[in-house]
Amino acid sequence: MIAGASEGTGASYAEQLAAMGINVVLVSRRKEALDQLGERLAGLYGIAFRSVVADLTQSGTGSRLVEETRDLDIGLFVSNAGADGAGNSFLGEPVDRALSLLTMNAANVVEAVHGFGNRLVKRRSGGIIVMSSGAGLGGQPWLTMYSATKAFELNFVESLWAELDGQGVDILGIAAPIMDTPTLRRATEGLGMDYSTAYDPANVCALALASLGKEPLVIVPDGPDEAQIPRIQADRKTRLLALAEWGKAYTAAANG
Ligand SMILES: NC(=O)c1ccc[n+]([C@@H]2O[C@H](COP(=O)([O-])OP(=O)(O)OC[C@H]3O[C@@H](n4cnc5c(N)ncnc54)[C@H](OP(=O)(O)O)[C@@H]3O)[C@@H](O)[C@H]2O)c1
């Protein structure tokens, strides 16, 4: 299941999974775009698909996705939708805009990961990928809510990675770089952005699928702190492993 699948990065995930012979559930707000993609992939790769129309900025959508797919054996959940426009003033925009992003990138991610996570643990196999952003590595002015919700996703995934250890289920966070997607193009229209150095989303998806089960978090090098990224990724993992050991000791003590 790919939440946010109709184009760009989400469609790349769908295509790469379909090419492996995996059936796909495609989620987004536009049924026609989902059906077109699903039919193309079914024709090319002989897979089955289901389109689910849902707006992830609406409360309860994460749980709805879990409930509406009870009849399917979901083996991989990809949380992909989650972008925001560029150059926002937090105080200058209505608070509802901030809350919509919070619902999409926090509440609904929590609901879906809780629901699908428990299903995957029961079947003792499967994976979860959460598309976060380099903007989640620290504060990013004029993308305040985006940066804050993407940081939530990173910490959420890292913690779960340790909690899922030994249960047959993998979880991976991607701190994605600038990717040349229709969403990015729309968000930056008229800003004079240079897309020539932006990543191809297909390459980021391929990296994510190859890294699932190997890393808690992949930070794709990009931006003004690009040279520091390998060290930041290694430091986060070292800290996480140490906290996982520390947490295990306390959990064992708490459970007698
Ligand atoms: N592109 C970048 O430069 C970049 C950089 C860093 C991180 N990221 C992260 O990577 C992820 C993918 O971003 P992207 O720019 O590459 O977008 P994308 O995957 O190319 O497109 C976003 C997908 O999500 C769906 N979607 C958007 N809002 C939705 C909503 N409210 N409810 C349901 N579905 C929704 C869209 O379909 P519909 O319009 O049909 O709903 C579309 O299929 C995001 O989490 C983003 O934060 C992107």
Whether ligand 1 lies within 6 angstroms of the CB of 173 is answered as no
* Separation between Cα atoms, residue 138 and residue 229, nearest integer Å: 12
Q: What is the per-residue pLDDT across 161-180, written as a single tens digit (0 to 9) for each?
A: 999 999 999 999 999 999 99
- Tell me, in angstroms, the distance from the centre of ligand 1 to residue 79's CA: 9
* Separation between Cα atoms, residue 216 and residue 240, nearest integer Å: 9
Instruction: Using the atom order of ligand 1, give the atom closest to the CA of residue 183.
Output: 15
Which of 203, 99, 113, 202 minimizes the C-alpha distance to 155? 113
Mean pLDDT to the nearest integer, 111-118: 98
In the DSSP assignment, the letter for residue 200 is P
* Separation between Cα atoms, residue 87 and residue 135, nearest integer Å: 13
Q: Are 202 and 12 in contact (CB under 8 A)?
A: yes
Positive or negative torsion for Cα 14, 204, 170, 121: negative
* Residue 219 β-bridge partners: 175
Residue whose Cα lies nearest atom 17 of ligand 1: it is 183
Structure token digits, residue 80: 């992909």
Whether ligand 1 lies within 6 angstroms of the CB of 82 is answered as yes
Non-local (6+) Cβ contacts of 214 within 8 A are none
Q: What is the per-residue pLDDT across 195-239, written as a single tens digit (0 to 9) for each?
A: 999 999 999 999 999 999 999 999 999 988 899 999 999 999 999
> Does 25 score more than 90 pLDDT?
yes
Whether ligand 1 lies within 6 angstroms of the CB of 83 is answered as yes
Mean pLDDT of the chain, nearest integer: 96
Whether ligand 1 lies within 6 angstroms of the CB of 51 is answered as no
Instruction: Using the atom order of ligand 1, give the atom closest to the CA of residue 28.
Output: 34
- Tell me, in angstroms, the distance from the centre of ligand 1 to residue 166's CA: 31
> Which of the listed residues 9, 31, 186 should we mutate to test ligand 1's pocket, taking the one with most ligand atoms within 8 A of CB?
9
Whether ligand 1 lies within 6 angstroms of the CB of 202 is answered as no
Domains of the chain, start order: 2-254 (3.40.50.720)
